[in-house]
Structures are given as C-alpha cells and as structure tokens.
Structure 1
C-alpha cells in the first residue's frame, strides 16, 4: 500500500519569489498550473512540493498546517547553518535552541538532528536527519554536545 509521501503543499503570496527561494534549496521546478500553483521536485520522480499562490498566507502558524521537513544527511546537516546563510536564509530558534547550530531530539533507539528556518511567507521549514541513539540518550542537546557525548 503506502510507499512514502509523494507531495506536500504550502500557501505562498508570491509564486515566482517562492519558486526562486525553493530553487536555492535545491528543489527542481517542474511546472505551473494557471500561474496559481507551482510544483517543484524534492526528489525527482519521487516527491514534490506544491506552492499555492494565495492571499491567505497569514494563517496562524501550526505545524500541522504550514510545516515541511526536508531529509538531509547528518554530515550535510552539520553544515546547514552556514549553507542556509550563504543562500541568504536565516535559521531560527526552535524547541528552545538558538539557531547557531543544529540540535538533537532523541526518541529511544533513534534521534532526529535538525535545524529550522522560514520561507518568505513564514512557512516553517526544517532540515532533518534521523540518527542512531546507541546510548539511549533521552536529553535534547546541540549536535556538538551530542557528538561529544557519543564519542567512542
């Protein structure tokens, strides 16, 4: 049955500006529909993001409505703050962590390392990597602390 997530959608106020923004993140533009919707490949042929030109982009934020998390490698995630800044994007504070480096939220035998930022319309975006939690750490911490704690 279900094999994965094929598409997700976000409201945007300026379709062309948003296409450019997501292009800087590495998403590949595929097509527009009536200059109201644009589709960009997250992973070509596998999953894409639909951007809907709308005058209703000021909806109050809630992660169930205006949030997308993009999977990245752990090594890329460790460089994500600089990578985002080079592209003119600003990481933001999330879960009480300052945006100067990614942080880790553990879940039993695995954890998620992540960094958060917003698109031009305030949609919440995240770069995330699933990592092993061999020591069954339960405390949230910055990636640098995680690596120090998990040294072998």
Structure 2
C-alpha cells in the first residue's frame, strides 16, 4: 500500500526567506497557495516539502515534530559538512556527535549515516543515507570509524 513519503510540512516565519534557504539546498520551487504556503520538490513528481508561513514557527523542538530527513548518496554525505558550511549553514550536534563529519546509527535491521542541521526557523533537517551493515553491528560511531571497522568486509 504505502510506497514512500509524498510530502512533509514545516512552519516558517518568513516564507520568502525560507524559500531562498531551501532553494539553496537544491530543492526546486513547485507552487504557492495564497502567499502563505509554498511547495518545493524534494524529488520532482515524487515528494515535496510544504512551508507554511505562520506567526508561531518557534514551537518547542521534539524529534517527532518539525523534522525532515533528505536522502543523499554516501558520496555526497561524505562532503556534506563542507557543502553546508559553503552555503552558510552550520551542521549541528546530534545524539552526542559533534558535526565534524557524518555519524552512523547501526542496528542489524537498518543502518544509516547522517548529519543534522537546522533551517532559519529551527526546524531540524538531516541528510541521510542507508549503508550496508555486513557484520550486523549495533551502536553509533563516526562514519570514518565505521568504514575503518568494516574495511576488510566485502
């Protein structure tokens, strides 16, 4: 039945400023509705992000709300810290990992490498990719440590 994520929505204080931010991340503008809601393609024809201009965009953060994770390739994720900084965005600490490089959250079922940052309204954003876990490890570590630990596994 469910094939994937079609859309996610975030509150923003200034729609034009937020549009510029997300276009700078590579999302493509699709359309707007009544000047207070805009849609940007995450993957054209497949998934998009809705931005709602509202007076109260600063809600208390909790990972279950105000969070969007964008899928990227492993090669792009390895360049993500410098890519974000070049665009004026600071990666942030997450799960106790400083944003010096992506980190891995591993379990035998699904393992991901990721880096976190915020948009201008404090919405939590993430660049993430699924990675192999040949030894069925569990736990968290920096991506470079993960690759070193799995270097001899095909």
Residue 16 of structure 2 aligns with which residue? 16
Structure 2: distance between partners of 1:110 and 1:37: 34
Structure 1: distance between partners of 2:91 and 2:4: 27
Residue 134 of structure 1 aligns with which residue? 134
Deviating 4+ runs (over 6 angstroms): none
Residue 84 of structure 1 aligns with which residue? 84
Residue 3 of structure 2 aligns with which residue? 3
- For each residue in 1:93-126, what CA deviation from the matched residue of structure 2 results, as whole angstroms up to 9, or x when unmatched? 0000001100000011431100000000000000
Residue 106 of structure 1 aligns with which residue? 106
Report the CA distance shift for 1:110/1:3 in structure 2 as closer, same or farther (over 3 A). closer
Alignment of 1:31-70 (within 5 A): 31-70=31-70
Structure 2: distance between partners of 1:116 and 1:92: 6
RMSD, aligned α-carbons: 0.8
Structure 1: distance between partners of 2:131 and 2:109: 9
Q: Secondary structure at the match of 1:117?
A: strand
Structure 2: distance between partners of 1:50 and 1:110: 28
Which sections of structure 1, spanning at least 5 residues, go unmatched? none
Q: Secondary structure at the match of 1:140?
A: strand
- The answer to whether the Cα contact below 8 Å between 1:106 and 1:138 also exists between their aligned partners in 2 is yes
The Cα shift of 1:64 comes to 1.6
Structure 2: distance between partners of 1:40 and 1:21: 11
The Cα shift of 1:130 comes to 0.5
- The answer to whether the Cα contact below 8 Å between 2:107 and 2:139 also exists between their aligned partners in 1 is no
Count of matched residue pairs: 152
Alignment TM-score, normalising by the size of structure 2: 0.96
- For each residue in 1:68-114, what CA deviation from the matched residue of structure 2 results, as whole angstroms up to 9, or x when unmatched? 00000111101100000111100000000001100000011431100
Alignment TM-score, normalising by the size of structure 1: 0.97
